[in-house]
Amino acid sequence: MNVRKRITIVVLANAAFTLAVLLVAPTVGSTPIALSRVFDQSMPWESNVDAQIFFVARLPRVLSGALVGAALAAAGVVLQAMLRNPLATPFTLGVSAGGALGAMIAIALGLDVGVLGVTSVPIASFIGSLVAIAIVYGLATSQKRGLSTNVLLLAGVTLNSFFSALILFVQFIADFTQAFRAVRWLMGDLDVGSYSPIVAALPFLVCAFAVFAILPRTLNLLTLGEDVAAARGVEVVTAHRWAFFSASLATGAAVSLGGPIGFVGIIVPHLVRLMVGSDHRVVLPAAALFGAAFTVLCDLVARTIIAPLELPVGIITALIGGPFFLWLLVKKS
Amino acid sequence: MALSEKVLNTKDTKDTKNNYLNTSAAKRGLAFGRKHVLAFRKVFFVPFVSFVLFLGATTQPEPHRIVSLVPALTEMLFAIGAGPQVVGVSSYDKFPTDVQSLPRVGALLDPDTERILSLKPDLVITYGSQVDLQTQLQRASIATFDYRHGGLDHILVTLRQLGRRTGRMKEAETVATGIEARINAIKSRVAGKPRPRTLLVFSRDPRALRNIYVSGGSGFLHDMLVTAGGQDVFGDVKRESVQATTETILARSPDVILEIRPDDIPAGKELDEEMATWARLASVPAVRNKRVYFITGQQMTVPGPRVVEGIERMVRALHPPAVK
Amino acid sequence: MVDDVSVSLAEGTLTGILGPNGSGKTTLLRLLSGTRRPSSGRVRLGDRPLDELSRREVAQHIAVVPQETQLAFEYSAIEIVLMGRHPHLGLFTVEGPADLRIARDAMASTGTSALADRPFDQLSGGEKQRVVIAAALAQSARLLLLDEPTASLDLGYQLEVSALLKTLNRDHGVTMAISTHDLNLAASICRELILMRGGRVIAAGPTHDVLTPENVRRLYDVEADVHVHEDTGHITVVPVRRLHP
């Protein structure tokens, strides 16, 4: 029962798998390409179609898929531990609803502001997420009791309902094409087409993951209950704050990059726990790595299965998620 | 045959009707009638029905108050001289300028039935899919003309049908043959020329290569492109609208990119940024040879009488020296 | 709510905090463990005030055993016990061989060594409590605070756990304070008692002196016989009749 060894083995195994997926994914797609041509330096860039497909179309897509998957899976793990609820998802606390509202507003108003190569919809989505985070945090914090997870959950659920109503309203007043774009955004889209959105999301993701790195043992204790955790030396309110902000930031950044891709934040944590147990020092890194691989693979299926047409990646994760939950339910009963 | 067998075989004794049908005379009479009705139906069915329809068509009164929910058909009405009869238009109608003063009654997703009824129309032009609205109008005894979206040919068919319906068949025929003549002229102009592989873009996120929707192998915009002497690079996908991705565009390497912007064309800094956006796909011939064009105008999005102007704009982009 | 209370727990003692529901037992326990701050007055560990210590430092000296432990996720018994080592580990430190040995010793002293790799949720009530006590012991704390440790257990497990507590206190010198409403449990294992009602301490001292029919009446409005067994000195409280205040 050597904890350090266990963590190392599991993380390395996951890392190897994920690395393999990340290396293979850009080489597979609806158009056959030859790796030799991709890396052929002698061919000028303008005429090298294979290289462009690899570096302009597929590689940014794979990278954003990996980042989004890792962020959502890790955020899912953190929120499930903090809320002591295996059914919590990164979207439970209203962050993605805020992101969706931001995106809808940008689409409906036809906003066209670009900053550092990032267009208005991702920016508006991220701002929407930040607003949601502020509202939920504000509602759940009180002088007396610090941050209450019960109120956090209630506030998140309420915000989800409220923002969903607003989203419906925005779709209603938007015209036909805008409403279609809005609905399409909700299904997730990783075809970022350039590295700028990835670079823009990176600082937030790095901050979130830096916090994720120090949370795991605290998360273990938090799952035992607030009083028990406190008695074991955990500063519960501080821990809740770190968990909430890091998970919400990761979710907001992921949603602004690829849209609200559902099910990753709940399937991956569950699968990982089934495989490695509940020690968050193993679960959190493993979930992040597996989440990356899972999302990239789902996107691979999405972009090849009905070529030349594509399915939105959120549909693939939902198609996997539905039966997965049925299976979980059957297994538990 | 099955019905008569059932009736004759019933064992009910309390039913006097059955008893009557059970007599042999009734049996013979029934059989005789059935044989001849069937024969009558076979011979006279088609002419009979056509006659009824013909009667219906010619006995439909000429409409004096028309409400149109379809902008393309509004334009057609004005083109064939039925403009003065138009009393209400959709929220999206823009042409001709006469419609600007007319009351608006909603559109495809949100037709305002009350408003329509308040205008006391005797003909309402609806989309074929607006079944609820059609039912409501039928109940109010208001005639409807149901429009279904189709290809380039369908525009002319609809034009002629509308002419018939409004009692302006001569004017409609004039307009239709005029359009046909212009289309044929364009076809012969571009006949011998090579057909550039074209990406016809309907919409896209501004300044990004995301949510790119392009023309597939069907629909009137596809037909316009083909008439203008272009080859649809997504022509093998039998859909009107296809979501293209960076990979599929790179793979299909179009020679020309036509972007439709119904309301305005980017200019100045915005134009540079949009060109820079496309420039990311450096290997696409359209980008390399700087053949990315923005086409503006409602002619591109309204499948109506001005469709020829749209085709001519496409020709200018696809075959520059062909049009002066 | 607790009002005007002054208690002290001497090292090595096994004190029972006795009283009806709502008497402030749990609040007192929370004050003693530092999870609640007093609005006036101070709680001291030795000669150091609790509010000057960080949560971590407090946890190094004081351990709490709650009435029930419900897990949101599945952990094995040894993982639960190892979590008791948290206050002694740095931010990135992983449990080492020393920690593992302490955990195993703790499990041995609660008779739960055989349960180490079993999922906690699948253990019986008594086994769960003993594992949780082991986790508290693994904290290497000088003071153990137990909140109604036998309240949700069947009679057999009650006996098991109370025997364990007595042994730990007697043989291992662990200072304990147990809050309970079970008179006989308190009588059988606690050498000192604190009687509470309505947020106040109505009596405190050695069990023999404090557990009198008079005090039982003051505590529970119940007339009871208090028998002291001649040879063993074992006290039994037998309720006779309910009195109406």
DSSP string over A73-88: HHHHHHHHHHTT-TT-
A37 touches chain B (CB under 8 A): no
pLDDT higher than 90, residue A168: no
Backbone angles phi, psi at A144, to 5 degrees: -75, -50
Mean pLDDT of A107-118: 79
B49 Cα to chain A: minimum distance (Å): 40
Q: Which residue has the higher pLDDT, A146 or A158?
A: A158
Residues in chain B: 324
C53 touches chain A (CB under 8 A): no
Which tokens go with B270? Answer: 């915005």
How would residue B93 be classed by pLDDT, with cut points 50, 70 and 90? confident
pLDDT at A226: 87
Distance CA B242, CA B78 (A): 33
Q: DSSP 3-state helix, strand, coil percentages of chain B (rounded to 5)?
A: 50, 15, 35
pLDDT higher than 70, residue B56: no
A303 touches chain C (CB under 8 A): no
Backbone angles phi, psi at C17, to 5 degrees: -105, 110
DSSP string over C202-221: EEEEEHHHH--HHHHHHHHS
Residues 6+ apart with CB under 8 A from A21: A292, A293, A296, A297
Taking a C-beta distance cutoff of 8 angstroms, is the pair B105, B88 a contact? yes
State the DSSP H helix or E strand holding residue C83, giving kind and residue range, or none if neither. Answer: helix C77-83
E strands along chain C, which residues? 14-18, 44-45, 48-49, 62-65, 143-147, 175-180, 192-197, 200-206, 222-228, 235-242
Distance CA B132, CA B69 (A): 14
Mean pLDDT of B110-137: 90
pLDDT at B20: 43
Taking a C-beta distance cutoff of 8 angstroms, is the pair C20, C220 a contact? yes
Using DSSP, state whether C158 is helix, strand or coil: helix
A260: which DSSP letter? -
Residues 6+ apart with CB under 8 A from C65: C129, C132, C133, C136, C144, C145, C146, C147, C149
Asked if B246 lies within 8 A of A45 by C-beta distance, the reply is no
Q: Looking at A255-264, B205-214, B223-232, which range is the least confident one?
A: B205-214
Backbone angles phi, psi at A138, to 5 degrees: -60, -40
Distance CA A254, CA A2 (A): 34
Contacts 24+ apart (CB under 8 A), B296-302: B296/B260, B296/B261, B296/B262, B296/B263, B296/B264, B296/B265, B297/B262, B298/B71, B298/B94, B298/B95, B298/B262, B300/B221, B300/B260, B300/B262, B301/B260, B301/B262, B302/B71, B302/B72, B302/B75, B302/B95
pLDDT values of chain C reduced to their tens digit, one per residue, 245 residues: 677 777 878 888 899 998 888 888 888 888 888 888 788 778 887 778 888 888 888 899 899 998 888 888 999 999 999 999 999 988 788 888 899 999 999 999 888 999 999 999 999 888 899 999 999 999 988 899 999 888 878 888 888 888 888 888 888 888 999 998 888 888 888 888 999 888 888 888 888 888 888 888 888 888 888 888 877 778 888 888 888 76
Asked if A233 lies within 8 A of C55 by C-beta distance, the reply is yes
Whether ipTM exceeds 0.90: no
Asked if A3 lies within 8 A of C71 by C-beta distance, the reply is no
Nearest-CB residue to A227 (from C63, C66, C75)? C66
Contacts 24+ apart (CB under 8 A), A110-116: A110/A178, A112/B206, A112/B207, A114/B206, A114/B207, A114/B273, A116/A196, A116/A199, A116/A200
User: In B, which residues are within 8 Å of A103 by CB distance?
Assistant: none
pLDDT at B32: 62
pLDDT tens figures, B110-119: 888 899 999 9
Which tokens go with B252? Answer: 């299909």
A304 Cα to chain B: minimum distance (Å): 11
Asked if A233 lies within 8 A of C71 by C-beta distance, the reply is no
For chain C, the straight-line distance linking the first and the last C-alpha, in angstroms and rounded, comes to 22
User: In A, which residues are within 8 Å of B206 by CB distance?
Assistant: 112, 114, 119-120
B and A make contact (3+ CB pairs below 8 Å): yes
Q: Which residue has the higher pLDDT, A68 or B122?
A: A68
Nearest-CB residue to C84 (from A84, A232, A235)? A232
Sign of CA dihedral B27, B29, B32, B33: negative
Nearest-5° Cα angle at A201, A195 to A206: 115
Taking a C-beta distance cutoff of 8 angstroms, is the pair A278, A4 a contact? no
Distance CA B168, CA B176 (A): 12
pLDDT tens figures, B264-307: 788 888 888 889 999 999 999 999 999 999 988 878 888 888 99
Using DSSP, state whether B187 is helix, strand or coil: helix
Taking a C-beta distance cutoff of 8 angstroms, is the pair A188, A121 a contact? no
C-beta atoms surrounding A99 within 10 Å = 31
Which residue is closest to B239 within chain A, CA to CA? A309
Distance CA A140, CA A248 (A): 14
Asked if A303 lies within 8 A of B245 by C-beta distance, the reply is yes
pLDDT higher than 50, residue B322: no
In the beta sheet, which residues pair with residue C197? C200
Does the pTM surpass 0.80? The reply is: yes
Q: Looking at B3-12, B23-32, B217-226, C157-166, which range is the least confident one?
A: B3-12
Nearest-CB residue to B251 (from A31, A120, A194)? A31
A176 touches chain B (CB under 8 A): yes
Mean pLDDT of B7-27: 45
B269 Cα to chain A: minimum distance (Å): 12
E strands along B234-321, which residues? 241-244, 256-261, 292-296
Distance CA B293, CA B259 (A): 6
B84 Cα to chain A: minimum distance (Å): 29
Q: Which CA distances in Å does A154 have to A90, A139, A151, A301, B282?
A: 15, 9, 5, 36, 50
A-B C-beta contacts closer than 8 Å: 87
Distance CA C116, CA C103 (A): 10
pLDDT at B39: 59
User: In A, which residues are within 8 Å of C100 by CB distance?
Assistant: 1
In the beta sheet, which residues pair with residue C178? C16, C146
A162 Cα to chain C: minimum distance (Å): 29
Provide the b/e sequence for C182-208 (b: ≥16 CB within 10 Å).
bbebbbbbbebbbbbbebebbbbeebe
pLDDT at A204: 96
Nearest-CB residue to A220 (from C63, C78, C83)? C83
State percent of chain A over pLDDT 90. 61
Residues 6+ apart with CB under 8 A from C50: C34, C42, C43, C44, C58
A 249-288 near B (Cβ less than 8 A): none
Which tokens go with C152? Answer: 């949700």
Residues 6+ apart with CB under 8 A from C26: C147, C179
Nearest-CB residue to C86 (from A7, A86, A217)? A217
How would residue B33 be classed by pLDDT, with cut points 50, 70 and 90? low
pLDDT at A212: 96
Q: Which residue has the higher pLDDT, B14 or C126?
A: C126
C201: which DSSP letter? E
Mean pLDDT of A43-60: 90
Kindly compute the dihedral angle of the four CA atoms of residues A87, A92, A96, A101, in this order, to the nearest 10 degrees.
140
Cβ-based burial of A29 (10 A; exposed 0-12, middle 13-18, buried ≥19)? buried
CA nearest to A28, candidates A311, A307, A321: A307
State percent of chain B over pLDDT 70. 80
Backbone angles phi, psi at C54, to 5 degrees: -75, 165
pLDDT at B26: 53
Backbone angles phi, psi at B231, to 5 degrees: -120, 120
For chain B, the straight-line distance linking the first and the last C-alpha, in angstroms and rounded, comes to 72
C167 Cα to chain A: minimum distance (Å): 23
Which residue is closest to A8 within chain C, CA to CA? C94
Q: Which CA distances in Å does A263 have to A72, A137, A328, C158?
A: 9, 24, 14, 45
Sign of CA dihedral C215, C218, C219, C220: positive
A146 touches chain B (CB under 8 A): no
Mean pLDDT of A5-29: 93
Chains with ≥3 CB–CB distances under 8 Å to A: B, C
Which residue is closest to B206 within chain A, CA to CA? A112
A-C C-beta contacts closer than 8 Å: 81
Using DSSP, state whether A148 is helix, strand or coil: coil
Which residue is closest to A174 within chain B, CA to CA? B109
